[in-house]
Structure 1
């Protein structure tokens, strides 16, 4: 069953992911608080051929990190945008937490308003 809302879209994968796959998928989201682009990129490059579930989460996380960086640069450029950086940071944190929960539940997750640069 797919859930579509302003918090993103989740759907069941074609198979039941293992505990290790869920953990790596979860890490591809939560580690972005420490290493925004690096964590999902490393996980994607290491696991892309081994696990579709982990690769999908890492790719989605990487695309979201790129989108957020573009948004923050756009906000920094404008004077009024600087006032809204706290809101963008709050939305970022909430969506990463939602994605982490969905990964731990074994569901595929799509961030809302995310540029899908890496296919």
Structure 2
């Protein structure tokens, strides 16, 4: 029989309105970080929100996972765009990936704030 970890934080249940707010934050923080860092730090924001709040409720977990999935696919497209810049195509795909992520995070924040479950289109589910 395992003993509980004495250093672990107790998990507290949160209300539905707090879940909606945290779901919107899960999309809003990466959105702001992405804009301020030309697309490079949005992943960090999504990962931190996911790790901190994934066990607080199913709604928060779903939106945080969606946010992280958007950032993963954006990062993949940005990495592929770098060598494509040698043949000039990357100069088109890089900003398109940023606009795509911006729109998906904006939609995700609005949907989470209104309490709607949502899976972003054209985004594989790496994290569940």
TM-score, with normalisation over the residues of structure 2? 0.72
Does the 8 A contact of 2:77 with 2:94 survive in 1? no
Show the counterpart of 1:32.
Answer: 30
What is the CA-CA distance between 1:40 and the residue it aligns to? Answer: 2.4
Partner SS for 1:118: coil
Supply the distance in 1 between the matched residues of 2:70 and 2:64 (Cα, whole angstroms): 10
* Moved >4 Å (runs of 4+): none
Paired with 1:108 and 1:60, the residues of 2 have a C-alpha distance of 10
Higher share of residues assigned strand: 1
CA distance in 1, matches of 2:51, 2:95: 32
Q: Which has the higher helix share?
A: 2
Give the C-alpha shift of residue 43 in structure 1.
2.3
In structure 2, the gaps of 5 or more residues are 1-14, 34-40
Separation of aligned partners in 2, 1:88 and 1:99: 16
SS at match of 2:118: strand
* Equivalent residues, number: 103
The offset of 1:72, in angstroms, is 0.9
State yes or no: 1:90 paired with 2:99. yes
> TM-score, normalised on structure 1?
0.77
What is the alpha-carbon distance in structure 1 between the residues aligned to residue 75 and residue 101 of structure 2?
A: 11
